[in-house]
Amino acid sequence: MNTQRQYLIYSISILITILNCIISVVEAKASSDHDLPYFESYHFNKAILNQKNQSSLRQLSLVAPPLSSSPDCTIWTKACSEELLKLAKPPENVEWLKGLRRRIHENPELAFEEFETSQLIRDELDKMEVFYRFPMAKTGIRAMIGTGGPPFVAIRADMDALPIQEAVEWEHKSKLAGKMHACGHDAHVTMLIGAAKILKRREHHLKGTVVLLFQPAEEAGNGAKRMINDGALENVEAIFAVHVLHDHPTAVLGSRPGPLLAGCGFFRAVISGKEGRAGNPHRSVDPVLAASAAVISLQGIVSREANPLDSQVVSVTSFKGGDNLDMIPDTVILGGTFRAFSNTSFYQLLQRIEEVIVEQAGVFRCSATVDFFEKEYTIYPPTVNDERMYEHVRKVAIDLVGPTNFRVVPPMMGAEDFAFYSQVIPAAFFYIGIMNETLGSIHVGHSPYFMIDEDILPIGAAAHAAIAERYLIEYG
């Protein structure tokens, strides 16, 4: 009887062990079904692309599990910056970034033609299961990572190349004749994709939503404006962007508070009079004299009306009248450019250029019209860094690359269409150095010899991610 009882208990325990095994196999199968293979998750993300409801972001995004050793980052510390660099710098990540940049560099696309570049970005976002809105401004993308709720902070990259024939002979030279990424926008896109990967990995830490803007047509001047019109800055309270700079050694970051880049505009005036024989000037209305007076008076705007400490330029660069030496022409067309470092000065210049030309034409009985090409958007306002946002960039940069690798840069006369964002919300634009004499990356942007040092890619990605994540903690 005792033996029988022992046998029964023994049999039951074996049965329980077998049952446990079966249960754990079934559980393992169920959990592996939740870990969607790449192909299935890709289609899942494709399906959510059609949904434009931003509030659904939290529900739809697949949040990566916390990294076991990662700092909490409720309060930002240097350990958080180091964590971001740790995510950016592994060799396989750097190789992935270089690969992306080289693919974009080989296939440069001009303003509003960035179809393949945009597709490449969306493919990467799909793989990461990052939610985005597309299209905006024709080829632009607005991706979001985080809670889906406020605060919203934006980081931006431009996608367009230039109509320049690349003169650098290297393995990944532009495959398209007459087109080249000669301003580093291929690197800008890559660093923003790199930031998306880091931020997605840290999505559980984000105290709001990071908006990643991939915009077309920076060089054409209206990409940013069209992105804004299409809702790029919806709910966004601050925006940041980086540009590569050949003046500074690799990965040195730089910026300045207040005016950073000049506003740049062009004008063309048509001054109309009445044609007549030069020997009988009283029978004509002379636009040459009127235009000449206008050119002289235009020089008085900066020299007599502008504060000497507020740098401004008005240059007349074109003057075309008749070609018959014995005739007073019907019209004269003159034109030029103007620059200023504040919005007030910039728009004041625009207004005064028109007034001076029209009034001077009137003095000599002519009429005049002035075109500032605003429809073509070849007008760039000044890029003015918000003091607080600049300070934020400075803090993040010093934490990431150390105080000796951050520089306060002087204002520059170049222009940037990031200015359009900075007119709407607090913004900061900063630089990342690419100068490496050994590599030959020493040429100014828009040169056919322009090159970048790809070692900036992980640093730039980490800088973007840190600026955004830390903003949500400290300013949100």
Residues that bind Zn ion (rule: CB under 5 A) add up to a total of 1
Q: Of 80 and 180, which has the nearer Cβ to Zn ion?
A: 180
Contacts of 139 (CB under 8 A, 6+ apart): 112, 113, 114, 115, 117, 118, 159, 216
Q: Which CB, 111 or 357, lies closer to Zn ion?
A: 111
Burial class of residue 228 in the structure, from the number of CB atoms within 10 Å of its CB (0-12 exposed, 13-18 middle, 19+ buried): buried
CB of 156 to Zn ion, least distance (A): 12
State which of residues 183, 210, 434, 459 lies at the interface with Zn ion (CB under 5 A). Answer: 183
Which of these ranges, 85-93, 94-102, 177-185, 201-209, lies near Zn ion under the rule CB under 5 A? 177-185
For residue 204 the two structure tokens come to 């559980």
Torsion of CA 213, 79, 256, 110, to 10 degrees: -30
Select 183 or 361, whichever has its Cβ closest to Zn ion: 183
Question: Order of strands across the sheet with 312-320?
Answer: 312-320, 331-340, 263-272, 367-371
Q: Which is nearer to Zn ion, 150 or 445 (CB)?
A: 445
Per the rule left: phi > 0, alpha: psi between -120 and 50, beta: everything else, 444 is beta
Minimum CB distance to Zn ion smaller for 261 or for 334: 261
Whole-number Å distance between alpha carbons of 442 and 433: 10
Q: Of the ranges 183-191, 254-262, 390-398, 448-456, which one interacts with Zn ion (CB under 5 A)?
A: 183-191
Q: Which is nearer to Zn ion, 120 or 241 (CB)?
A: 241
| Cβ pair 257, 411 in contact under 8 A | no
Q: How far is the CB of 450 from Zn ion (least distance, A)?
A: 10
Residue whose beta carbon is closest to Zn ion: 183
Least Å distance, CB 414 to Zn ion, is 8
Segment contacting Zn ion (CB under 5 A): 21-29, 170-178, 182-190, 324-332? 182-190
Whose Cβ is closer to Zn ion: residue 183's or residue 224's?
A: 183
Distance CA(428)–CA(420), nearest Å, equals 12
| DSSP structure string for 28-76 | HHHHHHHS--HHHHHHHHHHHHT---GGGHHHHS-PPPPPTT----SS-
Nearest approach, Cβ of 442 to Zn ion (angstroms)? 17
* Minimum distance, C-beta of residue 130 to Zn ion, in the bound complex (Å): 24
The CA–CA distances, whole Å, from 189 to 19, 99, 108 equal: 54, 12, 12
8-state DSSP, 405: G
Stretch that binds Zn ion, among 148-156, 180-188, 199-207, 464-472 (CB under 5 A): 180-188
Please report whether residue 224 would count as binding Zn ion according to CB under 5 A: no
Q: How far is the CB of 390 from Zn ion (least distance, A)?
A: 20
Instruction: State the binding string over 125-164 for Zn ion (x if CB under 5 A, else -).
Output: ----------------------------------------
Give the pairing of strands 331-340 and 406-408.
unpaired
Candidates 75-83, 176-184, 296-304, 396-404: pick the segment binding Zn ion (CB under 5 A): 176-184
Closest approach of Zn ion to the CB of residue 243, in Å: 6
Indicate the residue among 180 and 183 with the shorter CB distance to Zn ion.
Answer: 183
Binding range to Zn ion, per CB under 5 A, among 175-183, 276-284, 377-385, 428-436: 175-183
285: left (phi over 0), alpha (psi -120 to 50) or beta: beta
Rounded to whole angstroms, the Cα distance separating 80 from 141 reads 28
CB of 445 to Zn ion, least distance (A): 5
The tokens for 11 are 């049999």
Query: For residue 308, is the peptide bond before it cis, meaning its omega torsion is within 30 degrees of 0?
Result: no
**How far, in Å, CA of 350 to CA of 265, rounded?**
8
| Residues 3-62 close enough to bind Zn ion by CB under 5 A | none
Chain positions contacting Zn ion, by CB under 5 A = 183
